[in-house]
Structure 1
Amino acid sequence: MNSILFCLPQPRFFHKQPSLRFTQALCLLGAFITSSLPNVSLAAEVPSQVALSQQQTINSDNINQQPTALYLDNMLQLLKPAHSQLGITVWDMTTQKTVFEYNNQSLMQPASVQKLLTALAATKQLGKDFIYQTRLTTLAQQPLDKSLIENGIYSGDIYIEFSGDPTLKYQDLRQLLASLSQLGITELTGNIVLTSEQDSQLQAPGWVWDDLGICYAAPISPFIIDKNCVYGRLATTGYNKVANITMMGNRPIEISNDAYFVTPIVNRPVAKPAVQTLTDAVVLPAYLTESVPQCQLTLSRFDNNRYHLSGCHVGAKSLPLAIAITEPQLYAQQIVAKQLASLGIVHQLPITASIMNTEAQFMAQRQVIASHQSAALPQLLETMLLKSDNLIADSLLKKLGEVYYQAPSDFARSGQALKTILYSIGIDLSNANIADGSGLSRYNLLTPEHVLSVLTTLYQQPEYRFLLELLPQSGVSGTLRYKRYFNKSPLKNHVFAKTGSMLGIANLAGRVNVSNGHDYLFVLFENGLSPQIKKQQKAPFSAVFLQTMMDVPR
């Protein structure tokens, strides 16, 4: 083969002319690739079906001999971050073969990429027709009608059967209770009981304690109303004065406050060296030149859904608040009492809660007054994947465990159920650690290969393929709609993937279509990413790598 100097295409995230050194490096890498493949063209066609049938598996050595693998490996050596840890695997959807691997067997924290496992396991165990149902019932020999109500008084017990529906809203519950008014009921003299079948474990092991007051870490309970989240706003009354908190919806929580706003400090002086040297011109570290005071808000949580906000915030613009309910059962009891009163229905006895009675005699006498149904499972999964909804993910994990064991299930048992369910369809998670369904737990551990197994199952098994269509699309939908460098060319419209982001974690897994006419499934794990380094990055590593993939050779 003639010796040539072949320059690899520069990654498209370089919108400005790259340095001469970088251009020379690309050319040297191109020369290395061409010299390492004396009998292989970079434009080689996909292997024939005969060749594929002779080789059912490709080990790492074989992968590393392919042009795609050489190209990606050498580009990775140029582009990989110096301080964070990477795990990568790429699978060609045309040849249905793995074409690139890097640390693909390393156990790492998946963050919200974990939701891909939850989506698949929930579909397998619960089925596409699954819905959550919240019911208003009573015990009687016949359906409740106006003949059983005397002078507006109903003396039977009323049961509100909660199912852990993560989408149940305040207004949905009110409509259930309004059915009592429609029957002419103005007073209830019996008991009102909130019932459920689920366990009472509200948080998964490994959730970060200071996340627990924030709505993306709302408790996983059978009693969920408006995502167990209340909203408000913190507004300044002037610098260094106690701010005002306004909570929306008049919900039954108490919040006190001594937080305040402060003005940014402008042009804070920095001590100069006593002797002027050439190094005086060097840019000082951010922590020495920072002009904004160190300031943060802290939310403290107490019993009975009481909170206290303290600390400070820099600036004058008001802040939105989203506070997670600490005690969902108490919150639901108080909401029901509040709604009955607003409907003009008198009830003197305390509202209680208990595990649902499933004895045959009870079930035979149960009469449904009204019910509310959630959307079917595919719609729930669409919201979960597009918006990375933690509450839906962990509620579904609890539910699939409950259905699998035919009993209330905590996070540990539900995680084991997920492993068993996925093993039944060919995904071995024996060396993985599953702590929750959302990826919020720091105890979750998966390899890129685990996640690739899920993606290939979605692609290869028609009954699950719809899940690939629910993933966020770069620059178009979900968590990729506005994500930096994914919302513009060349990645816009070409990436369909689940994001996974937490402090120190920037993961991405899904599908990308590239200029060589092939589609690829990929898993990109990046753990140990310093917030300071992330802030300084010109582009996220996942965007850099995928833009490099856009020019994978044929």
Structure 2
Amino acid sequence: MAFVQKCLLATAVFCLSTSVKSAITESPKTSVQPNADQQHVASIVNFINPAHSLIALSIWDIEDKRLVYQQNANMLMNPASVMKILTALVSAEVLGKNFTYTTRLSTDGEIQLTNSTLTNDIYLQFSGDPTLTYADLSKLIKRLKKQGVNQVSGNIYLIGDTLSNDQPAGWVWDDLNICYAAPVSSFIIDKNCVKARLSASGHNKKTQLKVMGKRPIKVDNNTQFATYSASNAECDLNLKRKDNNHYTLTGCYDRAKSLPLSIAINDPVDYALKVINNIFEQQKITLQGQTIALNNLLSTNDLSHAPQLITQATHSSASLNIIMEEMLLDSDNLMAEALLKTSAEYYYGEAANLNKAAQTLRTVLNQLGIDLGAANIADGSGLSRYNMLSAAHVLNTLKFIVEHEEYHYILDNLPLSGRTGTLQYKRYFNRAPLKNKVIAKTGSMLGVSNLAGQFEASNGKKYIFVVFENGLSPKIKKEQKASYSALLLQKLMDMPLVIEPNQ
């Protein structure tokens, strides 16, 4: 009652500060004196808390297994790419560290050749491998050429999940043409991303668009070259998508050098069909039949429904550990979504759409003792604006990883400050005192700047932490010298050493 009376007489700011501190320094039954490290963090947070954005924070002492500090830890916020930590754990649990994707080329029976003509049907089974490339498929089909095949009279069947949605709910429409939002599918080739280059040449500087590698997409180029001046300082390009990987590029271009473009495929099935036809043509194998996509409703790599099929060649991906490293270091959205979708398919033993994949994440984590409670899970990459997680959810996930040695490779795959991934060149993380001291997953989008992982303080102890900052104004972000997480971690490097935790 005395506390309430004091709050009524004090300012709102003082009350908020007092209530935040009480979350750390008071237990439900009795008040205890905060440790030196808790006081240290509280003083930092009170000093650097931003005026216009919302902060959620949790810090855990790994050695003492003790919560050092938390602020708004149970508040649901947008996690952005920090979500990939949860996806990594679920994939590791369901698929295992040594899991590999397999793309399989089969025929309906033993190869039957008549005058270099293959009379069999060919089945190419896609597995949703996010690392599969055009070159990998070329090597598979080249195996037929080496067996003397110059012509195929049968059909080519591409097997995969042709029915599920390609993008999770909550992905921003503006992002869908960009490769970091490429569609998720059983049919993934070169990360469902096509490279192109826009340039201007000749006396009239007419623009030209070249699709690299002669990939089977169509782009109508309606751009104009404009000499740079203050009047056209906002010279922008706009890519509009149509059906069947057809696009229209409009706007103006004012650069002296060519401009690289990365275009996300919008129809993975159509693209895969055309790519396979192109590869057969490049291998100088004539196709007399049709190229058809078949929906495979059975579990991945299960061909028991067609026992007459005989495998002629396979391509295997790198192990999950290697795929996860790229996913976490580069914050690769397609890899995250593919891993979660594959995890759902193996978990349930059947094809799974992206909605079911999101449900699988919650289910598997719950079985591991990580209750997501009121959280909303829309995807595995964190690109969806519909995701809602708390700092406590992420901290509990990190605690589980730290406490189980078989999952330590997930932490090892996180970006290292000043060395690898998204922290290699990040401002203030690439210099002392943070360089080489922080391994963490970044999470950034408009209005969001998050970081979660582990840091080593100057006292020699290691801590796991989660920093969520939502509602960050783009204007403020552009003007600030250092991010909130950088400022906080710089100060946390001087964390006092606490030998005996409070009991």
**TM-score by shorter chain over 0.5:** yes
Correspondence 1:76 to 2:50: no
> Contact 1:458–1:467 at 8 Å: present in 2 too?
yes
Does residue 212 (structure 1) correspond to residue 212 (structure 2)? The answer is no
Deviations 1:469-498 (A, max 9, x none): 111000001110011111111111101000
Aligned to 2:323: 380
1:64 and 1:70 in contact (8 A); partners too: no
- Superposed CA deviations along residues 431-469 of structure 1, whole A, max 9, x for unmatched, are 111111100101111000000001001100111112111
Kept in 2: contact 1:89–1:524 (CA 8 A): yes
- Aligned identity (percent) is 47
Q: CA deviation at 1:263?
A: 4.2
Which of 372, 380, 386 lines up with 1:429 in the alignment? Answer: 372
TM-score normalized by structure 1? 0.81
Counterpart Cα distance in 2 of 1:405 and 1:357? 12
Instruction: Kindly state the Cα deviation for residue 309 of structure 1 after the two structures are TM-superposed.
Output: 1.1
Q: Which residue pairs with 2:398 in the alignment?
A: 455
Question: How many pairs were matched up?
Answer: 470
Q: Which residue of 289, 310, 317 maps to 1:349? A: 289
Q: What is the root-mean-square deviation of aligned Cα atoms in Å? A: 2.2
Q: Which residue of 2 aligns with 1:166?
A: 130
| Counterpart position of 1:186 | 150
Q: What is the CA-CA distance between 1:64 and the residue it aligns to?
A: 7.9
What displacement does 1:70 show? 2.0
From 61, 65, 75, the equivalent of 1:106 is 75
2:295 matches 1:326: no
CA pair 153-493 structure 1, distance change in 2 beyond 3 A: same
TM-score, normalising length: structure 2? 0.89
* Structure 1 unmatched runs, 5+: 1-35, 37-56, 267-290
8 Å Cα contact 1:159-1:193 kept in structure 2: yes
Query: Aligned letter for 2:296?
Result: M
Give the whole-Å Cα distance in 1 for the aligned partners of 2:90 and 2:77: 20
- 1:270 matched to which residue of 2? none
Aligned letter for 1:151? N
Residue among 221, 228, 252 paired with 1:257: 221
Distance (Å, rounded) in 1 between the aligned partners of 2:406 and 2:38: 31
Q: Which residue of the other structure, out of 86, 89, 97, is the alignment partner of 2:58?
A: 89
The aligned residue for residue 34 of structure 2 is 65
Change (3 A) 1:264 1:83: farther
Alignment correspondent of 2:428: 485
Instruction: Give the letter for the 1:329 counterpart.
Output: V
Kept in 1, the 8 Å contact 2:161–2:185? The answer is: no
The superposition leaves residues 6-26 of structure 1 with CA deviations (integer Å, 9 ceiling, x where unpaired) of xxxxxxxxxxxxxxxxxxxxx
- Cα contact 1:63–1:69 (8 A) shared by 2: no
Partner of residue 100 from structure 2, selected from 127, 131, 138: 131
Unaligned runs of 5+ in 2: 1-20, 498-503
- Alpha-carbon distance between aligned partners in 2 of 1:198 and 1:262, rounded to the nearest angstrom: 43
Q: What secondary structure, in the 3-state scheme, does the structure 1 residue paired with 2:213 have?
A: coil
Q: Is the 8 A contact 1:161 1:356 kept in 2?
A: no
Q: Kindly state the Cα deviation for residue 238 of structure 1 after the two structures are TM-superposed.
A: 8.3
- Distance apart, 1:403 and its partner CA: 1.1
Note if contact 2:154-2:288 (Cα within 8 Å) is conserved in structure 1: no
Tell me if structure 2 keeps the 8 A contact 1:158–1:192.
yes
- Please name the residue that 1:117 is paired with: 86
Q: Is the 8 A contact 1:198 1:409 kept in 2?
A: no
- Match of 1:417, SS? helix
Partner Cα distance (1:329, 1:456) in 2: 40
Aligned to 2:345: 402
Larger radius of gyration: 1
**1-structure distance, mates of 2:91, 2:240:** 35
Matched residue SS, 1:224: coil
Greater alpha carbon shift after TM alignment, 371-380 vs 293-302: 293-302
CA contact (8 A) 1:93 1:520 kept: yes
d(CA) in 2 for partners of 1:248 and 1:319? Answer: 13
Task: Label 1:311 to 1:190 Cα distance change in 2 as closer, same or farther (>3 A).
Answer: same
Structure 2 Cα separation of the partners of residues 373 and 169 of structure 1: 12
Question: Aligned residue for 1:469?
Answer: 412
